[in-house]
Each structure stands twice: as C-alpha cells, then as structure tokens.
Amino acid sequence: MKISIQINASPYQHQASDTAWHFIQAALQNGHEIYRVFFYHDGIYNALRDSRPPSDERNIVQRWSTLNEQMGVDLVVCVSSAQRRGLLEQSVGEKVGGYERALADGFRIAGLGLLMEAVIDSDRHVTFGA
C-alpha cells in the first residue's frame, strides 16, 4: 500500500511527530511504501536545521533526516507555512531575504501542489496533528 503522511504539529509541543515517525517505521517494516511526508502549518518546525534538543532527549529532526537518507522518503516542507514562520531554504531565502540554509538535511521546500499529488497518488493519506 502506498501511504502519504501530513504532519501539522511542531515536534516538541505535541506527540504528533513522534506518532507519525513510529507509524512510518511500522508501515515500512510491514512492506508498505511511504510516498511522501508533507510538513504543514507548525509541522514545518520538524525541518529546522538549528533544532538542538538536550542530549538526553530524542532528536526528532535528526530522525526525519535519517529516514530520508536511509529509506529515501520524500520530506516536503510547505513553502507558505515556512515563509509565515521564517523557515526558508536557501533559494527561497535569497529571494525574500530570509534565513539561508534553514532546512535540515533531507528536506525540501515546495507548494501545496505536492501535497495534492501525494493525496491523489496514494492509497491512503494519514494526517497527524490538528
């Protein structure tokens, strides 16, 4: 089964990011395909390169980067949500005068068209967070 994921909540304020990550791990272990993970609204904070949790806490941003690196899961950050919150990747940051290199490794920035594509092309779309 091809599954797309949408995450709407920030990584350390709600359980949604952890739950999504564990859901994805279970889905992959059971032979399912994760088509795309789309970070929307406050979910864009999952992609923050400069996130530095204390050493005895889980590093959610690093978990996502590792998922991309090891499994090739497409991690997409909503450009509008990112712009509203000051999180911009280099090319967008240069255009609008925002932060450069703000996205962690493995993430890319795009519009809602990629969310719609994921919903249409997937067998299931699962949303985490309000």
Q: Nearest to residue 75, comparing CAs of 63, 86, 85? A: 63
Task: Please indicate whether residue 78 is annotated as part of the active site.
Answer: yes
DSSP3 helix / strand / coil % (the chain, rounded to 5):
45, 20, 35
Q: Which amino acid is at 103?
A: L
Please, where are the H alpha helices in the chain? 16-29, 60-71, 79-85, 90-96, 112-121
Distance CA 92, CA 28 (A): 32
What are the C-alpha distances in Å from 29 to residues 8, 91, 115? 24, 35, 24
Active-site hit among 37, 44, 76, 78: 78
Q: Enter the tokens of residue 98.
A: 């925002």
Report, as residue numbers or ranges, the catalytic residues: 78
